[in-house]
A and B are shown apart, each in its own frame.
Chain A
Amino acid sequence: MRGSSLHRRTVFQPRQPAFWIFCAFLCYGTLRMVGTLGQLSSISRSGWTLAWVLLALYAAPLFVLIYYLDLYEREPWSVAIAAFLWGAFAATALSLDAGGWNEAIARALGPQAAQRWLPALGAPLIEEFMKGAGIVLLYLIVRDEIDDAMDGFVYGALCGLGFAVVEDVLYFMAAFGGTPRGVVQGFYVRVLSSGLYGHVLYTGLVGMAIGIVVSRREPAPLRARLAAAAGIVALAVFGHFLWNSPLLNIGPTPPIEGAKWLLVTLGLAVKGLPLLLFVAIALRLARRREERWLRTALAPEIGGEGLTSAEYEDLRDPRRRRAAVIAMRRRAGAPAAAVLARLQHEQLDLAMLASRVATADDPALVQQRDYCRSLRDALAAIPGALPAEDLASADDPG
């Protein structure tokens, strides 16, 4: 059997030293945070449960949305979940452990300035470092899975989402009173009004920077990539700083009632929207780069054994790709649709291989072309899988 897991490894790599270090920090963080979160449940069991339910409703669709950002390469679920768990438990616990920096900064600033500026000065650097360290460890575990800016963004954003979920529970219980009413208020302020601006964006950018540095698809020299990555990390930290700082705080001050809650949303948008827009543009550019990369990598393959020109037209457009699978399911059933999805998957791997090997007759590339052809043959053998026009041409002896 051919290596179907060619580029898709799981996170469970016991022979990788980074795997054990990742596990050690994750176990420690889980124990630490479960203790802290459990303690907060004594404030109000109903509030605590409501907090988790609401955050699950927010995090689950966002997780899926982030996961599907990368149109050409599905990341392994185990690695995606590991990134989320690192953010939720390891990065939160380690950031709390590094809280001594806050005391040092508070002493340096003095009590008055510390009251205003401490959240903006300590947390952005410490938290982004701890979350980013997890992405670096994941890269060391499964190097093939983080090889461009988009991969890095996906894992970084999932890590940031995990961090945001646990931090939100802490806030709902500690800062919003912990009662069901307080939790709902906290959910409005921290999730509905600002859930798209925070850790998901910052760590997505940090992950993107890591992806750019370790990329094997990027033609730019390492020095240029390092400079770009440093700029992106600086932007992420600055965004976090601005969010925590008293600057641009134009929202209403307590007590907040009635329509004033809308001003809270507006005030938070002023701080968060610019970075959100920046990330949207960066993602669009990263996606275009991926499209260009796919086109370049597959250009010599189109019309060959591994990829017909019709298949390429479907492959390059994610919507057409999905539509082709749906049409196949209607025409020939679920098994045929699964084979077609697999064929598309392997053709994306063909692009990956084509961009890495030195010659067009590299044995690996030849093997991958053969595998794609065998999948196409298998598909053709399924009754109803071939479209009517193909059947007509197959029946036509002339």
Chain B
Amino acid sequence: MSTGREPPARVDEVATQRVRERRWWPALVVAGAILALVLTGRLLGGVGSMPAPVTVGDLRVQPPPGWELDRSEPGAVRLRRGSAVLDIYASPSSYTGPGGVAASYVNQVLRPGLSQLTLAEPAPTTIAHGVPAVRVGYVGLTHDGVAIEGVVVAANGPRSAVVFDAAAPQGVLATVAGDVGAMIDQAVLVP
């Protein structure tokens, strides 16, 4: 009869089997293999150290580990992680609001750069802990035929407007969505 604490012993079980099953080493080998894969990946990918924050217009953005500064110009920064990129652009404030900023960006940057561009419905969102913004998802093809997924988040402040454009080859964007969301949401307005 079972005590309730321990599952009843199998009647066909040899006496030493339970003891063998309780050994730590097989479970530790599995845990070690998981950790080795994660840590080796971080080492090879250069993940681990926190990159320096970047400032674009009135906004300071902290890239998470694994992201690196690919390009920096006045009013524009490109962060990269693997084949995913996050472009951040700042421009003077616009009277058209976040929707207008997003529309301008789509027309001036995305349409010339991507063929067969398909845009999702613009959706309201926020950046930097509550600044109203607009979000537009898109898919398109680069000139060399690679299918790209992306999302544009545009906001308009009293002094400047800012556009985040996260893009990656099809299938990759979802893997960096958390990072991109965190960068946009936790961006800080520079006083």
Which residues in A have some Cβ–Cβ distance to B below 8 Å? Answer: 1, 3, 5-7, 9-10, 13, 15-18, 20-21, 24-25, 35-36, 39-40, 42-44, 47, 94, 96-106, 111-112, 114-116, 118-119, 123, 126, 129-130, 133, 136-137, 140, 143-144, 167, 170-171, 173-179, 181-182, 244, 253-256, 353, 356-357, 362-364, 367-368
Q: For the complex, what is the distance from the CA of A5 to the CA of B9, rounded to whole Å?
A: 9
Q: Are B149 and A179 in contact (CB under 8 A)?
A: no
Q: For the complex, what is the distance from the CA of A133 to the CA of B118, rounded to whole Å?
A: 39
| Stretch with Cβ within 8 A of A (4 or more), from B42-50, B105-113, B155-163 | B42-50
| Stretch with Cβ within 8 A of A (4 or more), from B51-59, B96-104, B174-182 | B174-182
Within B1-41, which residues are at the interface with A (CB < 8 Å)? 1-2, 6-12, 21-24, 26-28, 30-31, 33-34, 37-38, 40-41
Q: For the complex, what is the distance from the CA of A283 to the CA of B125, rounded to whole Å?
A: 47
Q: Chain A residues near B147: list those with CB within 8 A.
A: 253-254
Q: Chain B residues near A102: list those with CB within 8 A.
A: 41, 45, 82-83, 172, 175
Q: Are A115 and B83 in contact (CB under 8 A)?
A: yes
Q: Are A94 and B46 in contact (CB under 8 A)?
A: no
Which residues in B have some Cβ–Cβ distance to A below 8 Å? Answer: 1-2, 6-12, 21-24, 26-28, 30-31, 33-34, 37-38, 40-47, 66, 81-83, 116-118, 120-121, 123, 125-126, 135-137, 139-142, 144, 146-147, 149, 151, 169-178, 180-182, 185
Q: Are B11 and A367 in contact (CB under 8 A)?
A: yes
Q: For the complex, what is the distance from the CA of A148 to the CA of B14, rounded to whole Å?
A: 20
Q: For the complex, what is the distance from the CA of A124 to the CA of B154, rounded to whole Å?
A: 34
Q: For the complex, what is the distance from the CA of A353 to the CA of B12, rounded to whole Å?
A: 7
Q: Are A174 and B177 in contact (CB under 8 A)?
A: yes
Q: Chain B residues near A178: list those with CB within 8 A.
A: 120, 123, 135, 137
Q: Are B116 and A253 in contact (CB under 8 A)?
A: yes
Q: Are B171 and A99 in contact (CB under 8 A)?
A: no
Q: Are B47 and A100 in contact (CB under 8 A)?
A: yes
Q: Are B44 and A254 in contact (CB under 8 A)?
A: no
Enumerate 5 A-B pairs (CB-CB under 8 Å) in ascending A order: A9-B7, A96-B175, A97-B42, A98-B42, A104-B45
Q: Given A94-B34, A367-B11, does the pair A17, B170 have CB atoms closer than 8 Å? A: no
Q: Given A106-B83, A167-B174, A253-B141, does the pair A100, B7 have CB atoms closer than 8 Å? A: no
Q: Are B30 and A177 in contact (CB under 8 A)?
A: no
Q: Chain B residues near A103: list those with CB within 8 A.
A: 44-47, 66, 81-82
Q: Chain B residues near A357: list those with CB within 8 A.
A: 12
Q: Chain A residues near B172: list those with CB within 8 A.
A: 102, 118-119
Q: Are B123 and A179 in contact (CB under 8 A)?
A: yes
Q: For the complex, what is the distance from the CA of A167 to the CA of B174, rounded to whole Å?
A: 8
Q: Are B141 and A140 in contact (CB under 8 A)?
A: no
Q: Are A175 and B41 in contact (CB under 8 A)?
A: no
A104 CB contact (under 8 Å) in B41, B118, B170, B171: B41
Q: Are A119 and B169 in contact (CB under 8 A)?
A: yes
Most central of A7, A42, A357 by chain B CB within 10 Å? A42
Q: For the complex, what is the distance from the CA of A123 to the CA of B177, rounded to whole Å?
A: 16
Q: Are A17 and B121 in contact (CB under 8 A)?
A: no
- Name the 8 nearest CB pairs between A and B, nearest first: A100-B45, A177-B137, A177-B120, A174-B177, A103-B45, A100-B41, A104-B44, A364-B11
Q: Closest CB-CB distance, B52 to chain A, in whole Å?
A: 18
Q: Are A39 and B123 in contact (CB under 8 A)?
A: no
Q: Closest CB-CB distance, B70 to chain A, in whole Å?
A: 10
Q: Given A173-B177, A181-B120, A353-B12, does the pair A126, B37 have CB atoms closer than 8 Å? A: yes
Most central of A174, A253, A364 by chain B CB within 10 Å? A174
Q: Closest CB-CB distance, A97 to chain B, in whole Å?
A: 5
Most central of B81, B123, B149 by chain A CB within 10 Å? B123
Q: Given A5-B7, A244-B171, A253-B147, does the pair A39, B181 have CB atoms closer than 8 Å? A: yes
| Chain A residue with the shortest CB-CB distance to B140 | A254
Q: Are A182 and B120 in contact (CB under 8 A)?
A: yes
A43 CB contact (under 8 Å) in B8, B123, B182: B123
Q: Chain B residues near A39: list those with CB within 8 A.
A: 178, 181-182, 185
Q: For the complex, what is the distance from the CA of A394 to the CA of B90, rounded to whole Å?
A: 92
